[in-house]
């Protein structure tokens, strides 16, 4: 594949190498939290969109006279600062999320990747994902992203029903989504993911499964399903609260979810996480790093991270949140080298608890052996892994409503939305009850 001449030599060499080794190694099962401390995943938040969807409360902004050169400079500065602070030697994956990062110039994406490659080892076959919306992902734009090293695309299709797309406030039609999907499959074969939302006002099981069946025939090898969550402050929330839009009953939404699971499994998709399905080994390595409790660095306005800041002499993992508003974030990056708004040191027990809760989301669960690795890694004195048959079922092993499973946006950026679980807190106070693969 041709690599654009306008890229710097470092990025051009990396892009050529990645293109030559695109097949890479598939994401594999491993003990959650078992990744070496010398590596981390990297999340890059592009906060801008063309418009705000009716259901969305993400940290995103409609730009007025965007100075992309300044945003680019600050993203690269923060990446350099935080990677060096973490002292990781290897970046295992990169995920450009948002917002709508496909609105960013290829120059911006290239600059970030060049900085990452300069600060740490970014393997030629590392998974590098870009989120895209159909209206900002034309064939030439996708080709440019592919040429500079993006090797996985996640498309926000959300629905193939034009009326539902209008309800969601999307700025594309079903035909545009299908066109983008076809172009993406040519450039990112085996590495194109689609996002779909279910549980919409007025949606029935029949209408949902009909559209899903159509997409299963057309999609690539990865599908993410998200139940609509009504977020306070959004226009959709207001319409439902005022009685203008009827939401389906939870029993109906649960039936939609179970029907989707059955349909995708019948099409040879593996449900490897509550909301995520893959076939032909096309698991998202980046998202797995969240669910396996690995370190990850978040850069950009509002990004979240979980890593040990060894460069400052610390030994405990920190939960870090970057300043939300882009202009304020840029000022902080210019003044301090990063825009971290909040740092919270996590005890070893807190990290272990997060890893266990996140492990519940996967089909692997937490095995007895894996739990012992975790206990040893985090040095939790006084805790021991009990032998079978003292088990708790993995979340995907039984019938559960999507409300219980909460397939929300956490898989897109952070599993930082994982909640503190009273049940797990109680279990951890003495002996650890082990989860087994389904």
Which residues in 77-99 are b (16+ Cβ under 10 Å) and which e? Answer: bbbbbbbebbbbeebbbbbbbbb
Quick one: pLDDT at residue 18?
A: 43
Distance (Å, whole) CA 438 – CA 424: 19
Quick one: pLDDT at residue 380?
A: 61
Quick one: pLDDT at residue 382?
A: 56
Distance (Å, whole) CA 45 – CA 63: 15
Quick one: pLDDT at residue 402?
A: 44
Quick one: pLDDT at residue 425?
A: 30
Quick one: pLDDT at residue 366?
A: 79
Domains in the chain with CATH codes: 9-289 (3.20.20.70), 352-436 (no CATH)
Quick one: pLDDT at residue 136?
A: 86
Quick one: pLDDT at residue 407?
A: 36
- Compute the Cα dihedral for 291, 296, 298, 299 and give only its sign: negative
Which residues in 54-69 are b (16+ Cβ under 10 Å) and which e? Answer: bbbebbbbeeeeeeee
Contact assessment for residue 106 and residue 130, using Cβ atoms and an 8 Å cutoff: no
Quick one: pLDDT at residue 290?
A: 93
Distance (Å, whole) CA 373 – CA 133: 40
Run of H or E residues at 110: helix 106-119
Quick one: pLDDT at residue 178?
A: 96
Distance (Å, whole) CA 221 – CA 185: 10
pTM (2 d.p.): 0.83
Residue 144, CA distances (Å) to 6, 140, 367 in order: 11, 6, 43
Q: What does DSSP assign to residue 362?
A: B
Positions in the chain whose pLDDT score sits under 70: 1-37, 371, 375, 377-438
């Amino acid at each position: 594949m041709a690599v654009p001449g306008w890229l710097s030599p470092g990025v051009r060499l990396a892009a050529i190498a990645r293109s030559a080794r695109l097949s890479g190694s598939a994401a594999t099962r491993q003990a959650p939290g078992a990744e070496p401390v010398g590596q981390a995943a990297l999340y890059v938040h592009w906060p801008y969109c063309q418009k705000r969807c009716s259901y969305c409360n993400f940290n995103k902004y409609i730009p007025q006279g965007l100075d992309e050169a300044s945003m680019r400079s600050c993203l690269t500065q923060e990446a350099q600062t935080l990677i060096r602070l973490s002292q990781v030697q290897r970046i295992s994956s990169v995920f450009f999320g948002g917002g709508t990062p496909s609105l960013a110039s290829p120059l911006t994406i290239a600059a970030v990747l060049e900085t990452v490659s300069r600060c740490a080892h970014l393997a030629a076959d590392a998974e590098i994902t870009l989120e895209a919306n159909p209206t900002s992902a034309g064939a030439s734009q996708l080709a440019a992203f592919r040429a500079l090293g993006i090797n996985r695309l996640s498309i926000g299709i959300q629905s193939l029903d034009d009326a539902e797309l209008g309800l969601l406030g999307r700025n594309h039609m079903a035909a545009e989504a299908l066109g983008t999907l076809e172009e993406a499959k040519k450039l990112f074969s085996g590495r194109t993911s689609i996002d779909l939302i279910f549980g919409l006002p007025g949606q029935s099981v029949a209408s949902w499964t009909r559209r899903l069946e159509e997409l299963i025939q057309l999609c690539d090898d990865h599908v993410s399903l998200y139940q609509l969550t009504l977020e306070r402050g959004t226009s959709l929330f207001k319409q439902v609260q005022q009685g203008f839009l009827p939401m389906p009953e939870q029993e109906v939404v649960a039936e939609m979810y179970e029907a989707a699971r059955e349909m995708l499994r019948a099409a040879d998709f593996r449900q490897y996480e509550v909301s995520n399905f893959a076939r032909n080994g096309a698991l998202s390595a980046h998202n797995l790093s969240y669910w396996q409790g690995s370190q990850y660095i978040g850069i950009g306005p509002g990004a979240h991270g979980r890593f040990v800041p060894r460069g400052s002499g610390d030994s405990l993992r920190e939960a870090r949140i970057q300043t939300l508003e882009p202009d304020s974030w840029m000022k902080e990056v210019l003044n301090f080298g990063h825009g971290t708004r909040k740092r919270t040191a996590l005890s070893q027990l807190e990290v272990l608890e997060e890893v266990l809760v996140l492990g519940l989301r996967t089909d692997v669960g937490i095995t007895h052996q894996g739990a012992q690795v975790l206990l040893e890694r985090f040095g939790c004195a006084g805790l021991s892994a009990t032998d079978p048959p003292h088990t708790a079922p993995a979340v995907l092993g039984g019938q559960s409503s999507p409300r219980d499973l909460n397939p929300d946006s956490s898989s897109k950026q952070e599993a930082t939305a994982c909640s503190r679980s009273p049940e797990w807190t109680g279990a951890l106070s003495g002996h650890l009850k082990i989860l087994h693969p389904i």
